[in-house]
């Protein structure tokens, strides 16, 4: 009987030890940030899958069930995932909900007056605020691994600072008159403001509204006026209109890695680095 008691106690202890905090992020970009800080101490899941559009996403019962099991929920806010709060409330989740843009000053779109741009991580220095908030959330739910999270955060912060300096140098190598970024949707205002680029996008800060004829005319005007050599297209946006413009004006199509992680296991820092490297001189 005593042997059975100690066997059950040991099995219970091993089960508790094996259970990792479940961190659920609204989108894959934030899940990637959490993995870089939490490492093997946490389990990370994303509501919107890689390649999905957070602006248009429709949550499922499985998403609600996942949120109900979470210990920590990471959300961007700033209208990025406007559906998320209702889903969390309906799930009955008792998780800590961490607004990871806390401390960031929102900015408006360069193109659409009065529209707040929610893509604040596009400024690599803002990325430091994101990962600090994620670190704090992890420590709050799992204080026994606080030192690990601090060390991982310090390493990741160094990578983002190096990325910030790389982008500055890369942009400085492009003549000022050529620092114009044409892309599929208006997700680059923070990037443009920080690194000195003028942005022209087919769609607004949210992809919920379809592009209009006037949007196409505006992009074409920017393309012709500035002799832009390339257009950047995101994986989550229908590329047909920009592809047609590119064909008509004989410009190169490039992939914009930055707004979301659309290739499995691609690290956010490496993705931004690669995207900047493809920008024509």
pLDDT digits (tens, 9 = 90+) for 165-176: 988 988 898 888
**Residue 117 carries which DSSP code?**
E
Tell me the CA distances in angstroms from 156 to 70, 144, 190, 251, 256, one per residue in order: 24, 20, 20, 36, 22
Kindly indicate the confidence band of residue 189, based on its pLDDT and cuts at 50, 70 and 90: confident
pLDDT tens for 7-45 read 445 445 444 455 899 999 999 999 999 999 999 999 999
What residue ranges define each of the domains in the chain, with the CATH number in brackets?
15-166 (3.40.50.1980), 173-277 (3.40.50.1980)
Residues above pLDDT 90, as percent of the chain: 43
Q: What is the pLDDT of residue 13?
A: 46
Q: At what angle do helices 268-277 and 28-38 cross, to 10 degrees?
A: 120
Q: What is the pLDDT of residue 272?
A: 58
Kindly indicate the confidence band of residue 110, based on its pLDDT and cuts at 50, 70 and 90: low
Q: What is the pLDDT of residue 16?
A: 46
Other beta carbons less than 10 A from residue 106's beta carbon: 14
**Residue 113 carries which DSSP code?**
T
Q: Which two tokens stand for residue 151?
A: 């060390």
CA contacts within 13 A on the Cβ side of 238:
9
The DSSP H or E segment spanning 13 is helix 2-18
Which runs of consecutive H residues, i.e. helices, occur in 111-212? 124-141, 146-172, 189-195
Q: What is the pLDDT of residue 163?
A: 86
Alpha carbon distance 11, 22 (integer Å): 21
Kindly indicate the confidence band of residue 261, based on its pLDDT and cuts at 50, 70 and 90: very low
Q: What value does the mean pLDDT take over residues 209-213?
A: 58
Q: What is the pLDDT of residue 171?
A: 87
Using an 8 Å Cβ cutoff, are 36 and 154 in contact? no
Q: What value does the mean pLDDT take over residues 186-193?
A: 86
Which runs of consecutive H residues, i.e. helices, occur in 23-118? 28-38, 61-69, 84-91
Q: What is the pLDDT of residue 117?
A: 86
Q: What value does the mean pLDDT take over residues 107-119?
A: 72
Q: What value does the mean pLDDT take over residues 144-169?
A: 93
CA-angle at 142, arms to 136 and 146, nearest 5°: 60
Using an 8 Å Cβ cutoff, are 275 and 258 in contact? yes
Q: Distance from CA of residue 85 to its chain's centroid?
A: 18
Residues above pLDDT 70, as percent of the chain: 70
pLDDT at residue 271 tops 60:
no
pTM equals 0.78
pLDDT tens for 220-250 read 777 777 777 667 666 555 667 777 777 777 7
**Mean residue pLDDT across the chain:** 80
β-strand partners of 232: 183, 254
pLDDT at residue 275 tops 70:
no
């Amino acid at each position: 009987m005593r042997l059975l008691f100690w066997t059950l106690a040991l099995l219970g202890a091993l089960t508790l030890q094996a259970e990792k905090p479940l961190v659920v992020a609204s989108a894959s970009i934030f899940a990637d940030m959490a993995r870089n800080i939490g490492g093997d101490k946490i389990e990370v899941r994303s509501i919107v899958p890689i390649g999905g559009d957070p602006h248009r996403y429709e949550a499922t019962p499985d998403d609600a069930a996942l949120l109900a099991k979470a210990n920590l929920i990471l959300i961007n806010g700033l209208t990025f995932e406007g559906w998320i709060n209702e889903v969390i409330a309906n799930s009955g989740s008792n998780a800590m909900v961490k607004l990871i843009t806390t401390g960031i000053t929102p900015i408006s779109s360069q193109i659409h007056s009065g529209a707040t741009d929610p893509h604040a991580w596009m400024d690599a220095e803002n990325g430091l605020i994101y990962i600090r908030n994620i670190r704090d959330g992890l420590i709050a739910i799992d204080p026994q691994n606080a030192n690990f999270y601090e060390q991982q955060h310090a390493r990741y912060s160094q990578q983002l600072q190096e990325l910030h300096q790389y982008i500055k140098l890369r942009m400085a190598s492009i003549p000022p008159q050529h620092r114009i970024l044409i892309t599929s949707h208006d997700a680059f205002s923070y990037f443009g403001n920080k690194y000195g680029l003028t942005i022209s996008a087919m769609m607004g800060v949210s992809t919920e509204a379809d592009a209009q004829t006037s949007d196409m005319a505006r992009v074409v005007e920017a393309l012709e006026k500035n002799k832009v050599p390339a257009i950047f297209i995101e994986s989550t946006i229908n590329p047909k209109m920009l592809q047609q413009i590119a064909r008509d004006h004989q410009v190169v199509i490039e992939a914009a890695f930055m707004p979301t992680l659309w290739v499995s296991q691609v690290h956010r820092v490496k993705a931004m680095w690669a995207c900047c490297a493809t920008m024509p001189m």
